[in-house]
Each structure stands twice: as C-alpha cells, then as structure tokens.
C-alpha cells in the first residue's frame, strides 16, 4: 500500500497492471518480535496501519489478545478496517475530523483502554512521528512497554551509509539494520524529526516539478515500461 | 615477440635523461566546477616515449611490488614495440581490471615505489601506461573474440561486486567455473561505483570492465543482500554452490563519537559519496536524490585518505565556497595518493593539518553551524608506525561550516558474520581468513578485501581476490579442504 505524498509515491501509484519497478530489495532489518506477550495494543496511524496489519495478524496467531486502534485524518484515509477487525479481539477507530467513527486521536482511545483497567503487556504503534511520540509519552507514565517502527531517510538499507541513524538512549543505531522497530521510550524524537526534515526544500522542488510536468513525466515512465517489457519479451 | 630482446631505440644510458611524460589533465579552474575526469590519458606518442624510459631491469622490482603481480617490464616492452593489444593481453594475465587500477592504484606504494629510476629521477609512469593500454584495448577490441574456458562443472558464488569480488570472478571464470556475482545495490562495482567519483573513475569505465567480464561468462545479480535476503548457508545448501567468496568490503561507517554528530549537515563519507555517485545527487533535479544545497557555503571533510579527498573535491564541484580537509596528523602521514593531494590543492582545497575536531556546533535549530577543533602536535610513533598526534592544550578554535563529512574509515558490517554459523571473526568482527589461501573457518567459504583487513585500497582487495581465486580453484580441483 502506498499513499501518494511526494514525487516517488505518486510515481509508484501511477503504475498500471503489468508494469514493474526495476529494483526491489528486501526484506531488510530485523524482523518484528512475535511471541505470546498477553494483551497487545496494535496502533496504526494513517498509512502506518498497512505496516501494523501483518504484525497484528502474527501477534494474533501467537495467541495474544489483540486490541487494534486505527486512526486517520479523515474518513477516506481509514484503511484495512475489515482486515484489522479479523485479526483483533477489539477494534477501535478514530478520525481527526470526526467524519468517521469517533472524533479524536488514537491516543485518546489508548487512554480509554488504559483507564478502563485493561492490563496491557505491549503497545505497538506505527504511524506519523507525532503520533508515535504521543503514544510513547502516554505509555511512559504507565510503564507499558512500547515498540514503534521508524522510517528515517535511508540510502542503501544495509548499514553502509549511516544516514538513517537514530539516537537511542543517546547512542547511534541504524534503523535499516538495528531496526526498524525500537523501544519507543528510548528514542530521541527531537533528533528524528529534525533529521527527517533535512531535505524538505529539495523534496518540495521535486514534487512541484513533478506536478508541473506530470503528464509528460508519466508518459515517459510508461514508455520506459513498454521498452522494458519489449526487452524482456526478447528473452534478454 | 621475445621479451628478453629489447626493441627500445633509446640507449640505456640516455633513458634516465628523458623526463617522465606528464599526464595531460583538465585545467584546475575548469575541473573544479565539473565532474568530468581530471586526467585525460596519454596519447600513443606519449605512451611510447614514457615506455622507452624503462630500464628493463634484469630483476625487476616493480612486479614484486604489485599485489596482483602484473608483469610490468613485459607489458612496457610491448608498448615500446607498438603492440598495444599484446600489452593489454599481457596485463590481463594478472589483472582483470586494468582500466580501473591504472586510474586509482596508489602506484607510489607499489610498482612505481619500487622502480629503480625513482632513486635518482622520477619513476616510470607505470600507472599512466597501464591506463593507456587498457583504454586502447577498450577502443579497439572486439568482445566477440573473447574465448570462454571449458566448463568445469563447478559453481562459485561471489558476494560483492567490488574490486576483490570482480577479480576473483574474472580469474575463476577463466578456469571454467560457473561464477555468479551477487551485489546488494542496484548497480555493479561496489566501492568503485558508490565510493569513487566520476572525476577520478568514470562510471563508463567500470561498466566496460564489467561488460568484458560478462563476455567472459560471469553472471551478475543485483539487489541481493547476502546475509539478509539469502544466507551463505542457503547458497551452498539450497542453491548448489561449491564454493563462496565473501568480498563485501568493510561497509559500516565509523563516526567520531563527539557531540553534534546528529546535526543536519553532518554526513558519513559513505553517505555523502553514495548520494553523489551512486544516486547521482550531483544531477538533481534530473535525478531524484537530493543533496543539501551548500553553494557558496563552507564544507569540511575530516580525514586524510582517498575517501576524504574524493568527498571534499566532490563538495567543491557542487559549489562549496570554502572546502577544507581537517586532518589530525601532518601531510606526510596522509594515506591518500600523492596525485590526489596535488590535484586537490590545485583545485583550491584548503588543507588544515594537525587539526582535530572535538565538537560539531549547532545553529540552535538542529543544523550544523561549525566545528570546534584542537591543534595537534606529533608525538612518539603509535601502533601504525606513524607519529601519534597529541592535542595542544588551550589551542581550541572554531571553523564556521554548513556541511561536515566524516571520512575516518569504516568497520566491519556484521550482516554476513551474524548469519553464517561457524564463520570465525576477530575481535573487531572482521572475518578471519588465511593470508595466503583466503580460506575462512568454514569449509568452501573464502573471504578477502576490506571485510578481512579493514579499510585498505582497491589493489590490495584485488590481490586478495586473486589469491582466493587460486585457492578456490585448487579446492574445487582437488576436492579436499
């Protein structure tokens, strides 16, 4: 699942059936820790729900009681509702603007679950940085173990460049090989936010150029795809 | 021709009087603003004149000093004779990447360092001659004439397409083994592609050398991270490889451990160079990978090796206002090739030696604004044999900076070691391999290059690849470990 945000995600979503991506590598990083924890709250914010879903399913299969909390900015962005309900014992949904389900944030729902006295053994939160940070702040005071999945800017994904370094308890770790999942209470979120903003100007320029030349760029991409298919058709 | 009979028209006694033929190069003011190659290469005329300087020693030292054993005297004699294709074939007997080593080898530490002439005048330009021959071959060869060896029925997996892997692959395919090279990135060449910039080693040259190897029968597969997407065990047990060579390079950047390393604008050299070279950031926005815009601003690299110079000279070409090399020892201890230091100075790079950064400074909003340094002096020699730099108390000073690149070396990437049971490593997590046979503790598994020795040079990695190929061939032929 890809949410169109900048140039690359728009390009990905413009691919048509039968078209391909030239280079894909993975899976990389450490696998999610799946075991019988007891009661696990799995939280997905926006497109983060797509990443939370397979882990929620695995946790359910590992015999956990899974409480799923799915949040989105608005109704159209609520995804995987049926799938999440199938792998959870309880599904809670929020939208920021109240256009679907309850108005509010995923942390409001988490707070309710905590306050009603549910014993939570683990929280897994995947979504925008402000959401993961808010979850970490909330669970810290309740001493609930919390894992979040980070996606700082990466180049190679093999630990070679160090661009995705995050500060964990004051020490550098690489999200590509040491992560992507980290203990939320040990992350320096300020540094994460600051480093993710490093190329904002260039990203904006790329996207503006893309929007201006959208039609010709997409035509070029599809033409390249056709050429690639023709090459493969030749058995090369 | 008979290599012992000299065709050299210049009498031996006259040869030392002929000056070393200078390498034609792009003017410094021009090249400092483009990514085109600095050195332009010898003409046939220059190459022959330079080759004629060779003293044709009865016991040449140059060959002993070459990690892959290129028969220098013989190929130089073939240049004198004007048979450039035969000279290329002679080099290829020992070196499958001549166009690359001719450009990036630190010849002063190897062949040219041993050259007898160097004791009195400038040594023979062996690197320049090698490059000439390799480029000549590229322009004049017909790849369809490359002969493939009789198949041996054995299969070898090479992990990594950098200098050691390519060399091992080239040597092994000539013995008839089926060779598959696996590369983690989407482009082939390893450090040659992501690390060394276009102005020192054009990508086209690497592509040509790899195409040559393809024509020899080597199979290449990109986007495969051995140790992650496929393990060494799977290669041997499920994919039917009889032997594996690990030549992954060191592959883990070393940071300094000083305050401020997380500020925006502080890069590892690997990231900085990968963005620029592999991902074409210097061609943004035609390519999507961005680089911080530091046109007119101050950029510094920390370190004194080839990587440091590659990084800072790239920064200059991207428009840096001031470009500094900060190095904690003196220029004499710099590990970089002498020619690169010379080129960098000509281009206007400022060398601040005996200078050691102790803190990166913030603008208060998370961006780098400068670096605090200490001046150093040289004390007693340390374990590396070089004089140890010692900080001078009270000598702290600051340099305003927008970008800092840390190029103080690399350490061992653990991906393969941590997923290959029984593979012995040393205390710094490099793979243990025999210095002669390159054998590891695992039967059928060999290793060489930076993942064994730590950061070194292209040619030393190639030497390891060559030794590994020899002992892999012996292992596959004899069948015993």
Spatial neighbors of B172 by CB under 8 A, at least 6 apart, are B156, B158, B179, B469, B472, B473
Reading the block at residue B371, the tokens are 């670096």
Which tops the pLDDT comparison, B475 or B8?
B475
Q: Which candidate from A25, A155, A195 shows the least CB-CB separation from B229? A: A25
Q: Which helix (H) or strand (E) holds A218?
A: helix A214-233
Task: Kindly state whether A85 is in contact with chain B, defined as any CB-CB distance less than 8 angstroms.
Answer: no
Task: Reply yes or no on whether the pLDDT at B282 is more than 90.
Answer: no
pTM beyond cutoff 0.80:
yes
Interface contact flag, A202 B413, Cβ < 8 Å: no
Task: Reply yes or no on whether the pLDDT at B2 is more than 70.
Answer: no
CB < 8 Å to B255, chain A: 162, 165, 172
Q: Which candidate from B229, B279, B366 shows the least CB-CB separation from A155? A: B279
For the stretch B49-81, pLDDT in tens is: 999 999 999 999 999 889 999 999 999 999 999
Q: Which candidate from A155, A157, A195 shows the least CB-CB separation from B275? A: A155
For the stretch B121-151, pLDDT in tens is: 999 999 999 999 999 999 998 888 888 889 9
State the count of interchain CB pairs (< 8 A) between A and B: 95
- Please compute Rg for chain A using Cα positions: 20
pLDDT for position B44: 96
pLDDT for position A235: 43
CB < 8 Å to B261, chain A: 172
What does the pLDDT average to over B145-164?
A: 94
CB < 8 Å to A25, chain B: 184, 186, 223-225, 229
Interface contact flag, A160 B229, Cβ < 8 Å: no
Task: Reply yes or no on whether the pLDDT at B369 is more than 80.
Answer: yes
Task: Kindly state whether A74 is in contact with chain B, defined as any CB-CB distance less than 8 angstroms.
Answer: no
Structure confidence at residue B251 as a pLDDT band (50, 70, 90): confident
Interface test with A, best of B195, B221, B265, B270 (most A CBs within 10 A): B270
pLDDT for position A233: 57
Interface contact flag, B261 A25, Cβ < 8 Å: no
CATH topology (fold) of A28-196: Rossmann fold (3.40.50)
Structural domain spans, chain A: 28-196, 200-236
Mean pLDDT of chain B: 93
CB < 8 Å to B182, chain A: none
Q: Which candidate from B222, B251, B293 shows the least CB-CB separation from A160? A: B251
pLDDT for position B383: 84
Interface contact flag, B288 A25, Cβ < 8 Å: no
Search chain A and give the residue with CA nearest B258: A171
Interface contact flag, B415 A162, Cβ < 8 Å: no
For the stretch B195-212, pLDDT in tens is: 999 999 999 999 999 999
pLDDT for position A232: 64
Which parts of chain A register pLDDT below 70? 231-236
Task: Reply yes or no on whether the pLDDT at B328 is more than 90.
Answer: yes
> Which phi and psi angles does B152 have, rounded to 5°?
-90, -15
Interface contact flag, A156 B229, Cβ < 8 Å: no
What does the pLDDT average to over B104-110?
A: 92
Task: Reply yes or no on whether the pLDDT at B5 is more than 70.
Answer: no
Q: Which candidate from A155, A197, A205 shows the least CB-CB separation from B285? A: A205
Which tops the pLDDT comparison, A228 or B172?
B172
pLDDT for position B293: 86
CB < 8 Å to A158, chain B: 184, 225, 228, 251, 413, 415
CB < 8 Å to A20, chain B: none
pLDDT for position B1: 46
Task: Kindly state whether A22 is in contact with chain B, defined as any CB-CB distance less than 8 angstroms.
Answer: yes
CB < 8 Å to B415, chain A: 158-159, 177
Interface test with B, best of A11, A21, A160 (most B CBs within 10 A): A160
Task: Kindly state whether A21 is in contact with chain B, defined as any CB-CB distance less than 8 angstroms.
Answer: no
User: What ipTM, to 2 d.p.?
Assistant: 0.91
What does the pLDDT average to over B380-408?
A: 93
pLDDT for position B4: 52
pLDDT for position B292: 86
CB < 8 Å to A23, chain B: 186, 222-223
Min CA distance, B190 vs chain A (Å)?
Answer: 11
What does the pLDDT average to over B221-249?
A: 96
Task: Reply yes or no on whether the pLDDT at B42 is more than 60.
Answer: yes
Task: Kindly state whether A15 is in contact with chain B, defined as any CB-CB distance less than 8 angstroms.
Answer: no
For residue A32, the 8-state DSSP code is P
Q: Which candidate from A23, A163, A195 shows the least CB-CB separation from B186? A: A23
């Amino acid at each position: 699942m890809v949410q169109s945000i900048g140039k690359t995600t728009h390009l990905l979503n413009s691919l048509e059936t039968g078209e391909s991506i030239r280079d894909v590598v993975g899976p990389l990083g450490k696998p999610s820790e799946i075991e019988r924890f007891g009661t696990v709250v799995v939280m997905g914010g926006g497109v983060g729900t797509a990443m939370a879903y397979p882990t929620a399913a695995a946790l359910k299969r590992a015999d956990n009681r899974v409480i799923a909390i799915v949040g989105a900015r608005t109704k159209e962005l609520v995804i995987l509702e049926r799938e999440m309900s199938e792998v959870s014992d309880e599904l809670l949904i929020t939208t920021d603007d109240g256009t679907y389900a309850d108005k509010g944030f995923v942390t409001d729902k988490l707070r309710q679950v905590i306050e009603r006295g549910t014993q939570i053994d683990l929280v897994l939160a995947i979504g925008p940085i402000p959401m993961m940070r808010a979850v970490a702040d909330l669970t810290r005071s309740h001493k609930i173990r919390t894992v979040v999945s980070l996606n700082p800017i990466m180049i190679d994904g093999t630990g070679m460049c160090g661009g995705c370094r995050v500060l964990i308890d004051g020490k550098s770790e690489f999200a590509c090989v040491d992560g992507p999942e980290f203990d939320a209470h040990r992350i320096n979120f300020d540094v994460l936010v600051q480093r993710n903003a490093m190329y904002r100007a260039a990203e904006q320029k790329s996207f503006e150029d893309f929007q201006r030349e959208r039609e010709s760029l997409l035509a070029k991409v599809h033409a390249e795809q056709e050429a690639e298919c023709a090459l493969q058709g030749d058995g090369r | 021709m008979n290599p012992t009979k000299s065709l050299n028209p210049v009498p031996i006694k006259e040869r030392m009087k002929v000056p070393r033929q200078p390498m034609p190069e792009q003017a410094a003011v021009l090249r400092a603003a483009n990514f085109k190659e600095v050195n332009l290469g010898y003409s046939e005329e220059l190459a022959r004149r330079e080759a004629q300087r060779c003293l044709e020693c009865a016991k040449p030292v140059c060959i002993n000093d070459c990690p892959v054993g290129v028969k220098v005297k013989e190929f130089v004699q073939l240049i004198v004779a004007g048979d450039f294709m035969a000279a290329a074939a002679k080099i290829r007997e020992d070196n499958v990447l001549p166009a690359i080593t001719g450009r990036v080898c630190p010849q002063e530490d190897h062949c040219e360092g041993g050259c007898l002439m160097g004791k009195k005048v400038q040594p023979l330009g062996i690197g320049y001659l090698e490059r000439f021959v390799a480029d000549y071959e590229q322009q004049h060869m017909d790849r369809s004439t490359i002969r493939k060896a009789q198949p041996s029925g054995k299969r070898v997996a090479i992990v990594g397409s950098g200098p050691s892997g390519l060399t091992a692959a080239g040597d092994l395919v000539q013995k008839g083994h089926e060779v598959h090279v696996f590369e983690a990135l989407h482009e082939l060449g390893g450090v040659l592609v992501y690390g060394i910039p276009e102005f020192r080693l054009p990508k086209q040259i690497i592509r040509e050398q790899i195409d040559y190897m393809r024509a020899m029968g080597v199979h290449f597969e990109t986007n495969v991270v051995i140790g992650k997407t496929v393990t060494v065990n799977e290669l041997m047990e499920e994919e039917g490889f009889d032997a594996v060579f690990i030549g992954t390079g060191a592959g883990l950047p070393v940071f300094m451990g000083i305050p401020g390393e997380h500020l925006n604008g502080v890069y590892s050299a690997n990231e900085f160079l990968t963005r620029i070279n592999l991902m074409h950031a210097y061609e943004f926005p035609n390519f999507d990978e961005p680089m911080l815009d530091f046109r007119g601003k101050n950029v510094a690299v920390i370190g004194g090796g080839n990587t440091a110079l590659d990084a800072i000279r790239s920064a200059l070409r991207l428009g840096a206002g001031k470009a500094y090399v900060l190095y904690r020892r003196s220029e004499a201890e710099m590990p970089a090739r002498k020619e690169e230091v010379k080129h960098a100075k000509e281009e206007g790079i400022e060398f601040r030696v005996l200078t050691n950064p102790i803190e990166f400074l913030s603008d208060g909003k998370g961006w780098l604004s400068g670096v605090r340094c200490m001046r150093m002096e040289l004390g007693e020699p340390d374990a590396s044999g070089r004089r140890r730099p010692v900080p001078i108390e009270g000598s702290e000073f600051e340099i305003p900076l927008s970008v800092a690149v840390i190029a103080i070396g690399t350490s061992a990437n653990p991906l393969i070691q941590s997923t290959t049971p029984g593979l012995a490593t040393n205390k710094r997590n490099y793979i243990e391999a025999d210095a002669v046979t390159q054998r590891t503790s695992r039967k059928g598994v060999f290793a060489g290059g930076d993942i064994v020795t730590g950061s070194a040079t292209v040619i030393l990695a190639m030497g390891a690849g060559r030794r590994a190929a020899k002992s892999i061939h012996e292992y596959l032929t004899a069948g015993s470990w």
